[in-house]
Amino acid sequence: MESSIERIRALSKGKRTDRVLVDLGTVGQGALQLGSAAGAALARSGHLRCLADAQRRNLCMHASAAAALGSDFLRVGWHRGAGVRTADAVPALSLGLAWLLGDRDKARLVDAEILALRLPAQAPWPLKVDGEEQAHEALVRELDPPIEGPLGILGVLLGRAALIELLAARSRRGEALLDWAFSTYAEVYSRVISGLPERPHIVWYFDDFVAAPLRAVRESLMSRWRECLRQVGDRALTAMRCDETAWAVLPELVKAGVQIVSPAVAPAASSAASLRDGLPDHVILHGVTDFDALLDALRGGRAQALIDVAADLAQLWPVIASPRTPLARRTPLAELAWAAGYLKTLDVGSSRARREVLADRKG
């Protein structure tokens, strides 16, 4: 296979791949942060980077920096240019909510004010970036959530306690607010995607399902998620970070179109393999690779520990190798690139190769 894009497409169709795909520095637990050793090293080497997530202070790297890190993936979407002061780039609200609220000086609103909210024409900071710098034919482009999920939006505007009460009541008022939240959420994605120089290959979603009882998820939210994913996910793989409640309804989410799933809470080592239980064979796991164990094994030259990392990937296959716990800020760029390079030597894309790796672990 010639490119990471071909590999992710093969993976999504249950076909074999010639090596493991590695996702570093982009979304979730594997994102590089402002002040990280790896991010600083990239900047010293002249690689462009932007602040991508104001609240979490995550960095967005351009294509050359992603390649230097060893990532097969490129984050696209919200970017803040290098010339913008850091203090200006960290508003109290997420960018998506800042865009939605416009010049309002408060986030807590009454129902009528919420239902009247519409996205202003101008985004809070530029969506378009230099196409020559950001485009890269070999890398997979993935869009991280540009705004909180529908429940997250309502949780900020109503208050969390009021949101939980609303979800439990199943009233006409609640239905109207949920319709508005999902419609607005889908519009944010559509507007962000239309502002990008190239369409993403993967679109990420996340919502705070834990705020809703399971009955409300199944009776009120799942049909709305199906429609939302149908509207936004055209020609892109659908990915979702899932908290415990979302994981409990994962079969329904998969039927709704979710193709890549990542646990929002890191699984315990003893339960990592159980993540595959009950999932269709074509669903790709992301954010489940123990990079701490991998880096320790590389530093110590421990062959059996490296085999164990490979065996975990074989058990969880199909999988994208991305950290299951947040990357330590002090981890050097050279070590992250070393880990990515090792993972790319692994050929577990065929059932025969996976059997051989698992046999090596037992041996």
Which three-class secondary structure state does DSSP give residue 320? Answer: strand
Which tens digits make up the pLDDT trace of 22-71?
999 888 888 898 889 999 999 899 887 777 766 677 888 888 899 999 99
| Contact indicator for 27, 100 with CB cutoff of 8 Å | no
Q: Please give the single-letter amino acid code of residue 313.
A: L
pLDDT of 199-211, one tens digit each? 899 999 988 887 7
3-class SS of residue 296: helix
The answer to whether the CB of 3 falls within 8 A of the CB of 137 is yes
**Separation between Cα atoms, residue 315 and residue 267, nearest integer Å:** 14
Q: Do 79 and 58 contact (CB within 8 A), yes or no?
A: no
Exposed e or buried b for every residue in 260-293, given b needs 16+ CB within 10 A?
bbbbbeebeeeebeebbeebeeebbbbbbbbbeb
List of residues 6+ apart from 30 with CB closer than 8 A: 23, 24, 287, 291, 322, 323, 327
pLDDT (0 to 100) of residue 86: 47
The Cα 300–Cα 68 span in angstroms is 23
Token couple for 13: 């169709």
Q: Tokens 């994913």 sit at which residue?
A: 229
Identify residue 262 by its one-letter amino acid code.
S
What structural domains does the chain harbor? 4-362 (3.20.20.210)
363/357 Cα distance (integer angstroms): 10
Q: How far is Cα 252 from Cα 258, in angstroms, rounded to an integer?
A: 9
d(CA 263, CA 287): 7
What is the model's pLDDT at position 90? 43
pTM, rounded to two decimals: 0.91
Q: Are strands 49-53 and 58-61 parallel, antiparallel or unpaired?
A: antiparallel
Distance CA 14, CA 114 (A): 43
Please report how the helices 291-300 and 333-343 are oriented relative to each other, as an axis angle in degrees rounded to 10: 100
Separation CA 232–CA 247 (nearest Å)? 21
- Give the pair of three-digit tokens for residue 103: 């010049």
Alpha carbons 156 and 158: distance in angstroms, whole number: 6
The pLDDT tens digits along the chain (363 residues) read 578 999 999 999 888 899 999 999 888 888 898 889 999 999 899 887 777 766 677 888 888 899 999 999 998 887 665 555 444 444 567 778 888 998 887 889 999 999 999 999 887 766 555 444 555 668 999 998 888 899 999 999 999 999 999 998 888 999 999 999 999 999 999 998 888 888 899 999 988 887 788 888 988 899 999 999 988 877 899 999 998 888 888 999 999 999 999 988 766 655 666 888 878 888 999 999 999 999 999 999 999 999 999 999 999 999 999 999 888 999 999 999 999 999 999 989 888 888 888 888 876
Give the Cα separation of 248 and 250 in Å (integer). 6
Instruction: Quote the CA–CA distance of 275 and 287 in Å, as a whole number.
Output: 11
pLDDT digits (tens, 9 = 90+) for 306-348: 999 999 999 999 999 999 988 899 999 999 999 999 999 998 9
Contact (CB, 8 A) for 177 and 154:
yes
The residues, any chain, with a CB within 8 Å of residue 348's CB and separated by 6 or more, are 20, 310, 313, 314, 317, 354, 357
Nearest to 343 by CA among 8, 90, 112, 21: 21
Half-sphere exposure of 39 (CA within 13 A, CB side): 23
User: Which helix (H) or strand (E) element contains residue 357?
Assistant: helix 351-362
